[in-house]
Amino acid sequence: MENKLDWITLLLYFVILVFGWLNIYAACYDESHAMVFDFSTKHGKQLIWIGVSLLLALVVSLTDVRLFSSMAYVFYLIMMVLLVVTLFVANVTKGGHSWIDFGSFKFQPTEFAKFATALALARYMSNPDVDYKQMRTKVISWTIVLIPALLTLLQHDTGSALVFAAFLFPMIREGMSPKILIVGLVAVVLFVTALLVNSYIVLAILAVIALFYLFVWLNKRTRKHYLWTIGLFLACSLFTMSVDFVFEHILEPHQRDRIYVLLGKTVDTHGTGYNVHQAKIAIGSGGLMGKGFLNGTITKADYVPEQETDFIFCTVGEEWGFVGATVVILLYLALLLRLIRLSERQYSRFTRFYGYSVASILFIHFFINIGMVIGLLPVIGIPLPFFSYGGSSLMAFTLLLFIFLRQDQERTQTLL
Amino acid sequence: MSSDVYKERSVLLRVIFIVVGAIFIVRLAFLQIFDSTYHKLADLQALRQVTQYPARGLIYDRNGELLVYNEAIYDMMVIPKMVKNLDTALFCKVVGITRQDFLDKMEKARKYSPYSASPFMKQISKEEYGAWQSHLYKFHGFYVQQRTLRIYQRPIAAHVLGYVGEVNDKDIENDHYYRQGDYIGKSGLEKSYETVLRGIKGKKIMHVDVHNREIGPYLDGAHDTMAVEGGNLYTTLDASLQEYAESLMANKRGCIVAIEPSTGEVLALVSAPCYDPNLLVGRKRGENYLQLLQDISKPLFNRALQAQYPPGSIFKVAQAMTALNLGVITPGQGFPCDKSLVGCHGHPSARSVQEAIKMSCNPYFYFTYRRIIQQGKYKSIYKDSQYGLTVWHDYMQRMGFGTRLGIDLPNVKSGNIPDTAYYNHWYGKERWAFSTIYSNSIGQGEVEVVPLQMANLACIVANRGYYYTPHLVRYYGPDSTRNEEFYQKHDTGIKPAYFEIAANGMYDVVHGAGGTAHRANIPDIDICGKTGTAQNIGKDHSVFISFAPKDNPKIAVAVYVENAGAGGVWAAPIASLVIEKYIKGEVSRKDFEKMYRETNPCQKLPLTRVPKKKKK
């Protein structure tokens, strides 16, 4: 029996794509060059990318679905090799960036490494003997994720490397302990408080909490409780004490600045904080209903750097207002929730894991990008899926999504 | 798959998605709806409100000649908060100022307001602006604002036209129309018709990009307003007559006021020394202003409206009219020229009012004034004088003395006509009588009159009993608005027949044997006049009021020459030249004209009756 591609997801994809292009058009809009099909402009080029992406989607939906699982490791291998090659080629040509130049066409392998990793991990997870209670499973699955993440990090593309954390979610879904999320949350809280206030004060607070837990909260105190509490306290303390060191010696200066700007420790609206400040002005000035399509005074006057790429959400905020921005957020939420729903209806672990990976990767991008633009997260330059200007990311996201939709279409077949 | 034990974990991810989405929406609500600062910041940096200055109204003379017009200049404006990454060295080099200049100017601008525009450099010429226009885009926070400069076509009538200057803090406070660096009429017609001349400012909102370049009108100019040009003034001034009158007052101090009696329209209004109104325009303005201010001859002082002079004998005309109308004398009244009462010059006693005016007999008016002041209504001479003075004061006011004439120029003075309260204050109640105040009868004593009032008296006689408020603007603005008060007849309430007597007497002053102003005689114009020689500390002031022709007068002229001596010698001939110029358009008495132009009152006039003999 032949199912159709999930039309709800398709519809959301197209709506986001079209709205994204409209905003790119607005961000690049120049009264003197208002031609839609001017391929020297960014909105013109993006039209080409959209065309190519749709072609890719068509190709994917015509491909034999078994190819993805059978070729998963091959794809992965190819992408890892490409990442290594990029490291060398890009190091020479672009001084530490993640792009490969093909003449006028630039290509970012990291974008494609995401879906290759998702496929490889899904393939590994589809083994019946995989079980997160076993060390072996943990080690192998984490290795598959960390190789491309580290290679990306070596390209000084911290943002894209961070995206590989998305695989936490499908892993948890497949049985990894969710405690890691709590650990991560605690780590972030400790990190921020240690930066904002003195780390010794954080230690004191931690000690109070530990003592409270031990002597007030608990009725029964066993040896195991003592050991755990003391152990946790020591771990947290160690982490807190290391924050300053990590911050000063491991993070790069621009990363330090961005974190300080976010935490309000640096107020520099002309230098480091310029981008976020302008983004907030653009969005904040949009008001409830926005200034209207092509009427954004900040957008049109190029105040926000990178506005058609990573800061594209500014355009939405300024020209479409709170209403438009909320609609975009709801569109993404709908897409994400739909993907989870589709994943849950899969019969094979391979597709379910892959579906979760797609949703999680899209989510991380959505979370980091919009969080950054509205000033909730430090500046981390990653694109908004299907929305930001850029060929590599649009094609990669389209591939990522349509490979899942294709598998979803064939979900009954893969049972065999 | 059979062993899907972690299915419920899908909820975890869904919850995380929804929580993150909710946080984003709440954050957006704060940014976009509850916090309005970003809107202001956006407008501040991306929009630039450029004020469209309307062209100031033009000023024409009575014959349609353009007197005042505008020329374009530029002001460089600065918004201190917007100045960033400025290459100060380059800026100073291009604009041509020192670094210290730059710092001072910036400090001043910052003090005014860091967020709004204030002038950084003013009145830059078209040429200068052109020279550094190409660099302007590098200087964030600076832009150029076009303004206009007043140009005075002929260097005349500075006191009438007035000048414009930059507004001060008080002007800004009083009228929200003005912003720092705006111009406002400071004196003359520029001041009194400021609201007509200034027009209505427009505003243009320009969209400015990140490189400080204007990329076009904001919302295609939907919020822009057009500037409305200032209204033109169509004045009553006769530019040629004004210029001529000014030339006659060269080397002298004093003034000339010429009025068309039938309308009250001021034809010429000269205060000497005069100055070129173009001095008070442009970047040298401050310097020139200071120089004029410090000049001991007080060129900025408008004598025609503000100098309160003793009128001297011209005042006798007003006394005669009062006495006749009160019935205290008759036209045929004679009084002896008794020099023991008050000094006089050699002439036979006057046998009528007409003769008294012709001969300007001081004792005659001593008697006349006594009859006005002490009418015998009360037994006590003090009470009687009080009554008489009150009546007299009323008559003087009816003839425009002791009261501000409502001319459309600022700062006109009222002069002084003493009333009972005035003398009570000085001498005490019922401690003064006619003998205390008789000097008023001949225009001395406590009486003070501004020259405009003297000219107005000439108008009253010319009209045989009424006047229109002297004024300088016929109509103004696109709708040719008129000031209705200038069309209201002010009747003195004195019978025209008495003024006929005054006119006859004044005719004799110029034409009759024993008249005091033969120098004013022009063969074919019936000039009527009255001389005055006003005593004061220093040499006497020379005074003359006149009108011509005797019937259907076209012009009334008052001339006041400070410290020149007898009225007949200086003021009368000057008045006659003004009358000749106005009525004939050309002056035939060239030698005479040259003599009065070139001589100053400290010199002895080179001739006495020569031109008259020549003509005869």
Predicted local confidence at residue A98, as pLDDT: 62
Partners of A367 on chain B (C-beta within 8 Å) are: 20
Q: Are residues A19 and A161 in the same domain?
A: yes
Percent of chain A with pLDDT over 90: 43
Partners of A297 on chain B (C-beta within 8 Å) are: 42-43, 46-47, 207, 218
Which of B235, B266, B295 corresponds to the end of one domain?
Answer: B235
Q: Render A323-338 in DSSP notation, one character per residue.
A: HHHHHHHHHHHHHHHH
Q: Are residues B213 and B73 in the same domain?
A: yes
Residue A305 near residue A337 (C-beta atoms within 8 A): no
Q: Are residues B231 and B249 in the same domain?
A: no
Q: Are residues B439 and B566 in the same domain?
A: yes
- Give the phi and the psi of residue B67 in degrees, each rounded to 5: -100, -40
Higher local confidence (pLDDT), A211 or A32: A211
Note whether residue A211 is domain-resident: yes
Q: What is the mean pLDDT of residues B398-408?
A: 93
Predicted local confidence at residue B612, as pLDDT: 44
Q: Are residues B360 and B477 in the same domain?
A: yes
Q: What is the mean pLDDT of residues B5-18?
A: 90
State pLDDT tens for residues A155-174: 888 888 999 999 999 999 98
Mark yes or no for CB contact A301/B209 under 8 Å: yes
Query: Which among A287, A330, A347 is the nearest to B32, CB-wise?
Result: A287
Note whether residue B33 is domain-resident: no
Q: Hey, of B9, B11, B28, which one would you mutate to test binding to chain A, going by the most A CBs within 10 A of its CB? A: B28
Measured between CB atoms, does B33 come within 8 Å of chain A? yes
Query: Which among A301, A333, A360 is the nearest to B46, CB-wise?
Result: A301
Mark yes or no for CB contact A301/B215 under 8 Å: yes
Which of B205, B220, B235 corresponds to the end of one domain?
Answer: B235
Torsion, CA B383, CA B389, CA B390, CA B395, rounded to 10: 150
Percent of chain B with pLDDT over 70: 97
Q: Hey, of B8, B11, B12, B13, which one would you mutate to test binding to chain A, going by the most A CBs within 10 A of its CB? A: B13
For residue A47, what are the domain limits?
A: 7-176+330-415
Q: Are residues A167 and A190 in the same domain?
A: no
Predicted local confidence at residue B606, as pLDDT: 58
Q: Are residues B220 and B246 in the same domain?
A: no
Measured between CB atoms, does B606 come within 8 Å of chain A? no
Predicted local confidence at residue B423, as pLDDT: 93
CATH of the domain at B363: 3.40.710.10
Q: Are residues A348 and A376 in the same domain?
A: yes
Q: Is the pLDDT of residue B611 over 90?
A: no
Question: Closest Cα of chain B to A219: distance in Å?
Answer: 31
Note whether residue A129 is domain-resident: yes
Q: Are residues B247 and B298 in the same domain?
A: yes
* DSSP class of B341: T
Q: Hey, of B9, B11, B24, which one would you mutate to test binding to chain A, going by the most A CBs within 10 A of its CB? A: B24
Q: Are residues A158 and A216 in the same domain?
A: no
Question: Closest Cα of chain B to A212: distance in Å?
Answer: 29
Q: At A313, is the pLDDT very low, low, confident or very high (cuts 50, 70, 90)?
A: very high
Which of A202, A230, A250 corresponds to the end of one domain?
Answer: A250
Q: What is the mean pLDDT of residues B226-238?
A: 93
Lowest-pLDDT range of A33-42, A52-61, A201-210, B306-315 = A33-42
Partners of A370 on chain B (C-beta within 8 Å) are: 24
Spatial distance between the Cα atoms of B517 and B531, rounded to a whole number of angstroms? 7
Chain B's closest residue to A332, CA to CA, is B21
Mark yes or no for CB contact B38/A280 under 8 Å: yes
Q: What is the mean pLDDT of residues B410-422?
A: 93
Note whether residue B330 is domain-resident: yes
Residue B78 near residue B141 (C-beta atoms within 8 A): yes
- Give the phi and the psi of residue A187 in degrees, each rounded to 5: -60, -45
State pLDDT tens for residues A41-61: 888 899 999 999 999 999 999
Q: What is the mean pLDDT of residues A257-264?
A: 82
What's the total number of domains in chain B? Answer: 2
Note whether residue A311 is domain-resident: no
Measured between CB atoms, does B98 come within 8 Å of chain A? no
Predicted local confidence at residue B321, as pLDDT: 95
3-state secondary structure B487-539: HCEEECCCCHHHHHHHHHHHHHHHHCCCCCCHHHCECCECCEEEEEEECCCCC
Give how far the C-alpha of residue A180 lies from the chain's centroid of Cα atoms, to the nearest Å: 18
Q: Are residues B226 and B270 in the same domain?
A: no
Mark yes or no for CB contact A322/B17 under 8 Å: no
Query: Which among B6, B14, B28 is the nearest to A325, CB-wise?
Result: B28
Q: Are residues A237 and A100 in the same domain?
A: no
Mark yes or no for CB contact A340/B17 under 8 Å: yes
Mark yes or no for CB contact B28/A322 under 8 Å: yes
Q: What is the mean pLDDT of residues B115-144?
A: 82
Predicted local confidence at residue B608, as pLDDT: 47
Note whether residue B13 is domain-resident: no
Q: What is the mean pLDDT of residues A6-18?
A: 95
What pTM was computed for the model? Answer: 0.69
Q: Are residues A72 and A12 in the same domain?
A: yes
Predicted local confidence at residue A34, as pLDDT: 62
Q: Are residues A112 and A209 in the same domain?
A: no
For residue B190, what are the domain limits?
A: 48-235
Note whether residue A40 is domain-resident: yes
Note whether residue A325 is domain-resident: no
Percent of chain A with pLDDT over 70: 93
Lowest-pLDDT range of B85-89, B303-307, B378-382 = B85-89
Query: Which among B31, B33, B37 is the nearest to A374, CB-wise?
Result: B31
Partners of A302 on chain B (C-beta within 8 Å) are: 209-211
Residue B170 near residue B180 (C-beta atoms within 8 A): no
Q: What is the mean pLDDT of residues B76-93?
A: 85
Partners of A293 on chain B (C-beta within 8 Å) are: none
Q: Hey, of A28, A171, A297, which one would you mutate to test binding to chain B, going by the most B CBs within 10 A of its CB? A: A297
Q: Are residues B245 and B175 in the same domain?
A: no
What's the total number of domains in chain A? Answer: 2
**In chain B, which among 173-212 make CB contacts under 8 A with chain A?**
207-211
A-B Cβ pairs (cutoff 8 Å, strict)? 127
Q: Residue A356: in which H helix or E strand, if any?
A: helix A349-373
Partners of B35 on chain A (C-beta within 8 Å) are: 284
Predicted local confidence at residue A52, as pLDDT: 94
Integer CA distances (angstroms), B204 to A31, A187, B52, B145, in order? 19, 54, 7, 12
Residue A119 near residue A346 (C-beta atoms within 8 A): no
Residue B542 near residue B566 (C-beta atoms within 8 A): yes
Chain B's closest residue to A292, CA to CA, is B219
Partners of A12 on chain B (C-beta within 8 Å) are: none
Mark yes or no for CB contact A317/B28 under 8 Å: yes
Predicted local confidence at residue B128, as pLDDT: 83
Q: Are residues A190 and A172 in the same domain?
A: no
Note whether residue A256 is domain-resident: no
Mark yes or no for CB contact B207/A301 under 8 Å: yes
Give how far the C-alpha of residue B249 lies from the chain's centroid of Cα atoms, to the nearest Å: 19
Q: Is the pLDDT of residue B74 over 80?
A: yes
> What are the residue ranges of helices labelled H in B121-271?
126-132, 158-161, 169-174, 188-192, 194-197, 239-248
Note whether residue B307 is domain-resident: yes
Q: Are residues B483 and B379 in the same domain?
A: yes
Mark yes or no for CB contact A363/B14 under 8 Å: no
Mark yes or no for CB contact A173/B9 under 8 Å: yes
Which of B172, B203, B235 corresponds to the end of one domain?
Answer: B235
Note whether residue B22 is domain-resident: no
Q: Are residues B539 and B407 in the same domain?
A: yes
Q: Are residues A129 and A63 in the same domain?
A: yes
Note whether residue A55 is domain-resident: yes
Q: What is the mean pLDDT of residues A387-411?
A: 92
State pLDDT tens for residues B319-378: 999 999 999 999 999 999 988 888 888 888 999 999 999 999 999 999 999 999 999 899
Note whether residue A344 is domain-resident: yes
Which of A206, A222, A250 corresponds to the end of one domain?
Answer: A250
Query: Which among B13, B28, B37 is the nearest to A340, CB-wise?
Result: B13
Query: Which among B17, B38, B207 is the nearest to A300, CB-wise?
Result: B207
Q: Is the pLDDT of residue A150 over 90?
A: yes
Spatial distance between the Cα atoms of B92 and B501, rounded to a whole number of angstroms? 75
Q: Are residues A35 and A172 in the same domain?
A: yes
Q: Are residues B209 and B246 in the same domain?
A: no
Which of A207, A235, A250 corresponds to the end of one domain?
Answer: A250
Mark yes or no for CB contact B14/A284 under 8 Å: no
> What are the residue ranges of helices labelled H in B178-308?
188-192, 194-197, 239-248, 285-294, 303-306
Mark yes or no for CB contact A286/B32 under 8 Å: yes
The set of residues, in sequence order, having a beta carbon less than 8 Å from that of B238 and lying 6+ positions away, is B61, B62, B63, B267, B268, B582
Chain A's closest residue to B28, CA to CA, is A322
Q: At A100, is the pLDDT very low, low, confident or very high (cuts 50, 70, 90)?
A: low
Q: At B543, is the pLDDT very low, low, confident or very high (cuts 50, 70, 90)?
A: very high
State pLDDT tens for residues B437-487: 999 999 898 999 999 999 999 999 999 999 999 999 999 999 999 999 999
Partners of B31 on chain A (C-beta within 8 Å) are: 280, 283-284, 317, 374-375
Residue B238 near residue B267 (C-beta atoms within 8 A): yes
Spatial distance between the Cα atoms of B257 and B425, rounded to a whole number of angstroms? 34
Query: Which among A284, A337, A347 is the nearest to B14, CB-wise?
Result: A337
Q: Are residues B459 and B557 in the same domain?
A: yes
> What are the residue ranges of helices labelled H in A197-304?
199-212, 223-245, 253-263, 274-284, 297-300
Q: Is the pLDDT of residue A96 over 60?
A: no
A214-241: buried (b, 16+ CB within 10 Å) or exposed (e) per residue? beeeeeeeeeeeeeebeeebeebbebbe
Q: Kindly state the tokens that stand for B412.
A: 């006109």
Mark yes or no for CB contact A371/B1 under 8 Å: no
Partners of B217 on chain A (C-beta within 8 Å) are: none
Q: Are residues A150 and A233 in the same domain?
A: no
Chain B's closest residue to A372, CA to CA, is B24
Q: Is the pLDDT of residue B317 over 90?
A: yes
Q: What is the mean pLDDT of residues A120-124?
A: 93
Q: What is the mean pLDDT of residues A353-366?
A: 96
Mark yes or no for CB contact A287/B39 under 8 Å: yes
Q: What is the mean pLDDT of residues B24-39?
A: 92
Q: Are residues A170 and A200 in the same domain?
A: no
Q: What is the mean pLDDT of residues B492-503?
A: 95
Predicted local confidence at residue B245, as pLDDT: 95
Predicted local confidence at residue A102, as pLDDT: 59
Q: Kindly state the tokens that stand for B45.
A: 């940096």
Lowest-pLDDT range of A320-334, B78-92, B242-256 = B78-92
**In chain B, which among 212-251 make CB contacts under 8 A with chain A?**
215-216, 218-219
CATH of the domain at B125: 3.90.1310.10
Chain A's closest residue to B13, CA to CA, is A169
Q: What is the mean pLDDT of residues B565-582?
A: 90
Mark yes or no for CB contact B33/A288 under 8 Å: yes
Q: At B613, is the pLDDT very low, low, confident or very high (cuts 50, 70, 90)?
A: very low
Q: Kindly state the tokens that stand for A88.
A: 């060398």
Predicted local confidence at residue B3, as pLDDT: 59
